[in-house]
Amino acid sequence: MSATEEVPAVPVLVQAPPRSAMATWQRGALVLLGLAAALAPIFVLESFQLFQLTMAVIMALAVLGLNIVTGYNGQISLGHGAFYAVGAYATAILMSHGDWSFWATLPVSAAVCAGLGYAVGFPALRLGGLYLALTTFSLAVAVPQILKHRAIEDWTGGVQGLFLVKPDPPSWLPLDADQWMYLVALGVSAVLFLLSWNLIRSRVGRALMAIRDNPTAAEAMGMDTATLKTRAFAVSAMVTGIAGSLGAVVIEFVAPDSFGFGVSISLFVGMVVGGVASIAGSIFGGLFVLFVPNIAEEISKAAPGVIYGAILILFLFLLPDGFAGLLRRLAARWRDRAAR
């Protein structure tokens, strides 16, 4: 039969281009360059600018946390501001009531947030994407009210909030407190970014993405989706919570109204704009969350939110894989051209 001849040919499997084998010295140089770029602001920037950059690093960390559960695992959370708030309050309460050192509060804050994330992750198991978004949205809206409540006022300081003091830099370092806080935020974030990067590239990371893309198939392949999803929530909450701890000590103040649902929305917007399911995207997300509202305010004093929302929608329409995706595509095009 003649028909068989014209059956479309099986597409030839294109081999993935080999990863550019970078020489060790090149890698080393890159790392050094990166390190230099990360440290340079300490010496270059004014103290307010450095403070802003510190906050951007912290926001990047918080976005990373959200990305783990929403980007990589597909569980949409609109309430990560709650974990950020709990982390901030954990550190603030321990430092101001218990005179703990900042470093000592970090493990506690991490544990509390992980536990809370685990607790939220359980009902989340029963909720499809949209219901989870709705529930976490409600959580985000309710947070300030809970923080203000009388029953815990002695600890949280109620509406007034709590003041705390930045840790002093070690005496052998010729840095002031702001510069030291930048280093601390950078160091803590770098460690968590590395750990997350490893997590995502591991078996667990692939399982998380498989659950996101095809939950039925993932389950059929024997993945314990329930355990993985709740743990993803716990890890995600922990990372965002630690960002909260850092944020509290950098700003030296926590109060209920600074943790409204605007924080959760910012993190969500940061994730989308930076790049959903992208580690590097979280960094762009952090920079965006911190700097764009300021820039937007310069364009129009009255309504940065309008511009914020418009940017979010524009990205969803035009660049759904975010800034990181754009860079990736540009890099791919550049490589193609170079290879030709």
Residues 42-101 binding another protein (CB under 8 A) are 70, 74, 76, 78
Q: Which two tokens stand for residue 112?
A: 């509390």
Residue 27 contacts another protein per CB under 8 A: no
159 neighbors 94 (Cβ within 8 angstroms): no
Pinpoint the alpha helices (H) of the chain: 24-44, 47-66, 80-97, 102-125, 129-148, 153-156, 177-201, 203-213, 215-220, 225-251, 261-274, 279-299, 304-318, 322-339
CB of 48 to another protein, least distance (A): 26
CB of 296 to another protein, least distance (A): 10
Closest CA to 263 of 138, 131, 113, 82: 82
Residue 297 contacts another protein per CB under 8 A: no
Of 148-156, 182-190, 202-210, 244-252, the segment contacting another protein by CB under 8 A is: 148-156
Residue 195 contacts another protein per CB under 8 A: no
Interacting residue with another protein among 109, 112, 148, 290 (CB under 8 A): 148
Of 47-55, 59-67, 123-131, 246-254, the segment contacting another protein by CB under 8 A is: 123-131
Q: Going by C-beta distance under 8 Å and a sequence separation of 6 or more, which residues neighbour residue 164?
A: 91, 92, 95, 96, 248, 249, 252, 253, 254
Q: Which is nearer to another protein, 54 or 136 (CB)?
A: 136
Residue 272 contacts another protein per CB under 8 A: yes
Residue 187 contacts another protein per CB under 8 A: no
CA 75 and chain centroid, separation: 14
Residue 141 contacts another protein per CB under 8 A: yes
Interacting residue with another protein among 1, 14, 44, 338 (CB under 8 A): 1
Of 47-55, 160-168, 176-184, 299-307, the segment contacting another protein by CB under 8 A is: 299-307
Of 19-27, 29-37, 139-147, 185-193, the segment contacting another protein by CB under 8 A is: 139-147
Residue 175 contacts another protein per CB under 8 A: no
Q: How far apart are CA 209 and CA 200, in angstroms?
A: 9
Phi, psi of 319 (to 5 degrees): -130, 70
Closest CA to 249 of 61, 83, 101: 101
135 neighbors 127 (Cβ within 8 angstroms): yes
Q: Could you list the residues that contact another protein (CB under 8 A)? A: 1, 3-4, 6-8, 70, 74, 76, 78, 123, 126-131, 133-135, 137-139, 141-142, 145-146, 148-150, 215, 265, 268-269, 272, 276, 300, 302-306, 308-310, 312-313, 316-317, 320
